[in-house]
């Protein structure tokens, strides 16, 4: 089956997606991926999908995310510019995401960051990503590195366990009233917060946003996001902790600016499937829907844009969502250890 829409045309459409045209573009991407992604086509055929009957995003088959551990999920044959690999643990099989065009990823996270926070050049961006820096195939490290480069601030950069230096730099930036983003994996931020166990950080940080990206990697006992945010809010005297929701298998991220409520950029959407019926999929409606998270990431043109994740969530009427933790009986991955 050959679809007349060219991939270059789809790329332009993806980043022009909005509430009015999202479903139409998603259906075009579905047709393109069914025609060009052999793994996804075989999955659709195996579950006996009548692709001519797919008229809404809720009817599109969502590929179980585990396929990225066992198969090469690509749209067409190409030499990848990058291969992102999940962090995992020594006991798990890691996902691999073969990225045909890294510029798509950069465009996606740059536009999303600008949508929620403004241009990176307005910020000093400090990344606290210990252990992730040791890996060559981390999509999170690539994103942080590019945003740091875009910020152009002399004190932007990566930090390991230099907590005294980090505290000093944050103080200098606060005194200069410089907008600062401290983005870190959960265990790194908790370790930093642990340096101030009695009376907290002391100095208020009105110009600093603290953003966690998940990631416990077996370093600590599992905690809910609310528990983690409670510790960080107390330690740093912040009313809200921000969050980023992304994963190796995606090229887009959702952001929470507090209370664990995430919003997607216009080319990304969350749906909910029923845990006891994975083919019963629901879009946002006038109620809050509980279940397992399905993700549409239209930027994932050369991979799969329709992924059934292993997270439990709540989808609100306005399309925002919460991540409640891991589903039962799923592998625990390094970037997502906040199970209930």
Query: C-alpha 250: how far from its chain's center?
Result: 7
Q: Which residues contact 149 (CB under 8 A, 6 or more apart)?
A: none
Partner residues linked to 262 by β-bridges = 256, 321
pLDDT above 70 covers a percentage of the chain that reads: 89
Q: Provide mean pLDDT across the span 198-215.
A: 81
pLDDT in tens, 229-288: 999 998 888 999 999 999 999 999 999 999 999 999 999 999 999 988 999 999 999 999
**pTM of the predicted protein model:** 0.91
Bridge partner list, 308: 64, 294
Strands (E), 275-320: 277-282, 289-297, 306-315
Contact 61/305 with Cβ under 8 angstroms? no
Q: How far is CA 340 from CA 23, 195, 323, in A?
A: 33, 26, 10
Cross-strand bridge partners of residue 157: 126
């Amino acid at each position: 089956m050959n679809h007349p829409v060219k991939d270059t045309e789809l790329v332009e459409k993806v980043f022009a997606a909005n509430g009015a045209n999202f479903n139409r573009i998603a259906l075009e991407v579905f047709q393109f991926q069914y025609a060009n992604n052999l793994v996804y086509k075989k999955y659709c055929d195996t579950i006996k999908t009548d692709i001519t009957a797919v008229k809404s995003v809720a009817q599109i088959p969502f590929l179980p995310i585990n396929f990225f551990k066992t198969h090469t999920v690509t749209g067409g044959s190409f030499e990848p510019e990058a291969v992102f690999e999940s962090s995992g643990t020594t006991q798990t099989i890691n996902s691999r995401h073969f990225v045909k065009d890294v510029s798509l990823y950069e465009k996606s996270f740059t536009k999303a960051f600008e949508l929620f926070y403004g241009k990176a050049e307005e910020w000093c961006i400090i990344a606290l990503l210990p252990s992730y820096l040791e890996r060559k195939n981390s999509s999170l490290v690539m994103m942080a590195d590019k945003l740091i480069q875009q910020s152009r601030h002399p004190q932007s950069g990566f930090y390991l366990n230099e907590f005294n230096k980090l505290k000093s730099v944050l103080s200098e930036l606060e005194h200069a009233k410089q907008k600062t983003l401290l983005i870190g994996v959960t265990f790194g931020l908790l370790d930093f917060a642990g340096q101030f166990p009695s009376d907290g950080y002391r100095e208020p940080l009105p110009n600093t946003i603290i953003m966690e990206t998940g990631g416990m990697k077996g370093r600590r006992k599992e905690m809910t996001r609310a528990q983690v945010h409670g510790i960080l809010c107390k330690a740093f005297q912040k009313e809200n902790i921000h969050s980023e929701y992304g994963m190796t298998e995606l090229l887009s991220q959702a952001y929470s600016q507090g209370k664990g409520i995430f919003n997607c950029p216009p080319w990304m959407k969350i749906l909910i499937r029923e845990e006891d019926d994975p083919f019963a999929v629901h879009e946002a409606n006038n109620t809050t829907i509980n279940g397992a998270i399905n993700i549409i990431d239209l930027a994932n043109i050369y991979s799969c844009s329709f992924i059934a994740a292993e997270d439990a969530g709540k989808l609100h009427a306005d399309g925002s969502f919460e991540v409640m933790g891991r589903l039962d009986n799923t592998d625990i991955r390094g970037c997502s250890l906040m199970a209930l």
